[in-house]
Amino acid sequence: MWNHHVLMERLNVQYPIIQAGMAGGITTPHLVSTVSNAGCLGTLGAGYMNPVDMKDDIRQIKQLTPHAYGVNLFIPEFPSVTKSELKNAELLLDPYRKNLQLEDEPGIKDRENVFDKQIELILQERVPVCSFTFGVPSKDVIKDLKDAGIVVIGTATTVEEAIINEEKGVDLIVAQGSEAGGHRGTFLGPYENAMIGTMSLVPQVVDHINIPVIAAGGIMDGRGVVAAFALGAQGVQMGTAFVTSTESGADAQYKEAILQATENETVITSAFSGKPARGIQNRFIHEMKEYGDQILPYPLQNTLTKDIRKAAAIHKSPEYMSLWSGQSPRLSVGESATKILESIILQAEKVKSGN
Amino acid sequence: MWNHHVLMERLNVQYPIIQAGMAGGITTPHLVSTVSNAGCLGTLGAGYMNPVDMKDDIRQIKQLTPHAYGVNLFIPEFPSVTKSELKNAELLLDPYRKNLQLEDEPGIKDRENVFDKQIELILQERVPVCSFTFGVPSKDVIKDLKDAGIVVIGTATTVEEAIINEEKGVDLIVAQGSEAGGHRGTFLGPYENAMIGTMSLVPQVVDHINIPVIAAGGIMDGRGVVAAFALGAQGVQMGTAFVTSTESGADAQYKEAILQATENETVITSAFSGKPARGIQNRFIHEMKEYGDQILPYPLQNTLTKDIRKAAAIHKSPEYMSLWSGQSPRLSVGESATKILESIILQAEKVKSGN
């Protein structure tokens, strides 16, 4: 069932399965390389990383696997807020800071544009695959990457976003359904209008573009993989399935939260980063809900909550952590990524031949 | 690919494809019988029907097809509201009533419990299949139906709802994903917590119950059918795919709205009936949004808006009609139900053998 997928040739992988480039320390070089060594595509979630750490991780990945791997980047945004908006957003977080015994407020400096340096590094290191979230890079950046032999993957949550990605020249498109955990990739209009279930999104995107589509959202096992192919996808991207893997850098409490969660416990929140993302409902999300319009835009809110999330992890307090998860946590398993992938591949083959 | 599905034996159909029992005049006896004559299961949406009209339609269906068919019923609710809540809800609708030159306000009488009479009729007429939405009937009702040889189908939007359905004794369960058009079947807790995409919902439900699962939500063509089977479903239920069929009783403006819609134009609204349902965004939904908490509970709001929807149809004003649709309107076609089903079946066979 695997030998006809265009995507495998493009990505130089044995199976058209991509481990999503989740930001925030989940995608350790160990996880990325384990996935790539299993014949799939591991991805470093470098959205929030500075070029120095990113280089370290890429070098480590290269040492750990001879196979293809990817790096995911965020398209940068530079919103401006007034001093009072900033003060207010900080005040909202004060109770949590006190609770977690954090003293200094983080403050927000003028954020340098690390994106250009990240791209430079991708080119220098000849990273095989580079994927993007929160928008589409300029045609020039895409051309530079492609000229260097780097495969470029875009992210879309609607048909229109997929068309824009294709027009700008990306090689492949991840169609992210509403089931997906973590940040919504939506970059056109409010996210509420782009909460399209994977079952609906994938065939409609496939019908409107000519480049291969990678399905994401709710896919956790071999059943999801075969379903995604039936819908017209050439590959799948899975995030939540790998958060609970032994190689993942997620904190023990975070892994445990996913392993214990049910399908109806996730919600969409902007409280952690300023951008909507799906995670397991907890106290922080619940309490911040009423201040929705006072939350700073991405990436400012993310900067403000960074030490809260860090302290919450140290204090083993999942109630204040960002517990990103898709809508299929009941299908999660706490195994090594190698075993997770072996099971997925075996089950996919069984489902495919058994139906 | 069709010959091993348990469901086909239970439902006595050639293909495990169910046309959803959409209420509001869409499921004409002509549509229901055409679907059943094509080897699938047509369903009369009798949720809002009085037993007299229901009997007429069932008799017509019997004349038009020798094959199995189903009837869908709503579990009744009897909410009470104060006079001022009622007055206020009526006031909110006055601008629309004026606009559509409606004079008398509908008023709300004590609603008789037609449900018992509907069940009596199902038993008398020996309807082959009876499905339920908005809850689960009592164990006694389920037993009576099953004793009469009638197949009972429940609806679930979460794993817990599926488990309750199974415990109460239904034969089969429709797992309704968030992509689905029309009313949410949610009966436990707020609907927002039960907006699970089909890709996530189906395998998690399948893993937790022992009776066959029918996938619903976003399925419009052969790709969706094969995907649903891969996820572990034994059958599929499609609604939106049949609204635009020539046999459907939907108004021309409603059909046209679906045929022209994109995947991101539907929203969930309670403004028409008092219960959340997915439909194409229009003026009525948009304007009523801010009065969310003043909308009467189901079925009272439904009674209040009935003549507005009727007049809107007469005036060919889709801006005031309930344009129920799932998230895959781009996949809709304006053909006869026979042709729609032939295409679905042919495409499913191709997808299945081609992957």
Contact B177 A197 (CB under 8 A): yes
Contacts of B223 in chain A (CB under 8 A): 203, 230-232
Candidates A161, A199, A268: best to mutate against B (most CBs of B within 10 A) is A199
Q: Structure tokens of B125?
A: 């007429």
Contact A230 B227 (CB under 8 A): yes
Contacts of B350 in chain A (CB under 8 A): none
Residue of A nearest to B188 (CA): A264
Residue of A nearest to B332 (CA): A204
Return the H-helix or E-strand segment holding A19: strand A17-19
Record: fold of B1-78+113-247+336-355 = TIM Barrel (3.20.20)
Partner residues linked to B268 by β-bridges: B278
A30 C-beta neighbours (distance < 10 Å), count: 18
Contact A1 B221 (CB under 8 A): no
Chains A, B: CB contacts within 8 A come to: 154
Burial of A249 (0-12, 13-18, 19+ CB in 10 A): middle
| Strand-by-strand arrangement of the B182-183 sheet | B182-183, B277-280, B266-269
Contacts of A3 in chain B (CB under 8 A): none
Q: Which of A200, A217, A327 sits opposite B263 (nearest CB)?
A: A200
Partner residues linked to B236 by β-bridges: B17, B215
Contact A218 B227 (CB under 8 A): no
Contacts of A217 in chain B (CB under 8 A): 197, 199-200
Q: Which of B200, B203, B328 sits opposite A200 (nearest CB)?
A: B328
- Cα(A40)–Cα(A17) distance, rounded to whole angstroms? 5
The residue whose two tokens read 């790998």 is A242
Chain A nearest CA to B314, separation (Å): 30
What's the pLDDT score for residue B258?
Answer: 98
What are the percentages of helix, strand and coil residues in chain B, rounded to 5? Answer: 45, 15, 40
Q: Which of B159, B326, B351 sits opposite A200 (nearest CB)?
A: B326
Q: Structure tokens of B22?
A: 């959409």
Contacts of A226 in chain B (CB under 8 A): 227, 230, 355
Contacts of A223 in chain B (CB under 8 A): 203, 230-232
Partner residues linked to A216 by β-bridges: A176, A237
Contact A200 B179 (CB under 8 A): yes
Chain B nearest CA to A343, separation (Å): 15
Chain A nearest CA to B266, separation (Å): 8
Contacts of A193 in chain B (CB under 8 A): 264-265
DSSP string, B248-289: ----HHHHHHHHH--TT-EEEE-TTTSS-EEEE--HHHHHHG
The residue whose two tokens read 């015994």 is A101
List Cβ neighbours of A56 (8 Å cut-off, separation of 6 or more).
none
- Cα(A91)–Cα(A94) distance, rounded to whole angstroms? 5
Partner residues linked to A239 by β-bridges: none
Q: Which residues of chain B have pLDDT under 70?
A: 3-4, 107, 109-111, 355
- Taking the CA atoms of B299, B302, B306 and B310 in sequence, report the sign of the dihedral they define: negative
What are the percentages of helix, strand and coil residues in chain A, rounded to 5? Answer: 45, 15, 40
Going residue by residue through chain A (355 aa), what tens digit of pLDDT does each one get?
Answer: 786 578 889 999 999 999 999 998 999 999 999 999 999 999 999 999 999 999 999 999 999 999 999 999 999 999 999 999 999 999 999 999 999 999 877 767 666 789 999 999 999 999 999 999 999 999 999 999 999 999 999 999 999 999 999 999 999 999 999 999 999 999 999 999 999 999 999 999 999 999 999 999 999 999 999 999 999 999 999 999 999 999 999 999 999 999 999 999 999 999 999 999 999 999 999 999 999 889 999 999 999 999 999 999 999 999 999 999 999 999 999 999 999 999 999 999 999 988 5
What's the pLDDT score for residue B6?
Answer: 82
Task: Give the residue range(s) of CATH 3.20.20.70 domains in chain B.
Answer: 1-78+113-247+336-355
Contact B197 A199 (CB under 8 A): yes
Contacts of B179 in chain A (CB under 8 A): 196-197, 199-200
Residue B80 · residue B63 · CB < 8 Å: no
Q: Which of B264, B352, B355 sits opposite A194 (nearest CB)?
A: B264
Candidates B1, B264, B267: best to mutate against A (most CBs of A within 10 A) is B264
- Cα(B191)–Cα(B275) distance, rounded to whole angstroms? 9
Burial of B272 (0-12, 13-18, 19+ CB in 10 A): buried
Contact B218 A228 (CB under 8 A): no
Q: How far apart are the first and last CA of chain B?
A: 13
- Cα(A55)–Cα(A216) distance, rounded to whole angstroms? 27
Decide if the complex's ipTM is over 0.95: yes
Q: Which of B200, B208, B352 sits opposite A218 (nearest CB)?
A: B200
Chain B nearest CA to A158, separation (Å): 7
Q: Structure tokens of B326?
A: 């799932």
Residue A317 · residue A251 · CB < 8 Å: no
Contacts of A326 in chain B (CB under 8 A): 200
Short-list A177, A158, A174, A131, CA closest to A23: A131
Candidates A200, A219, A289, A331: best to mutate against B (most CBs of B within 10 A) is A200
Contact A327 B227 (CB under 8 A): no
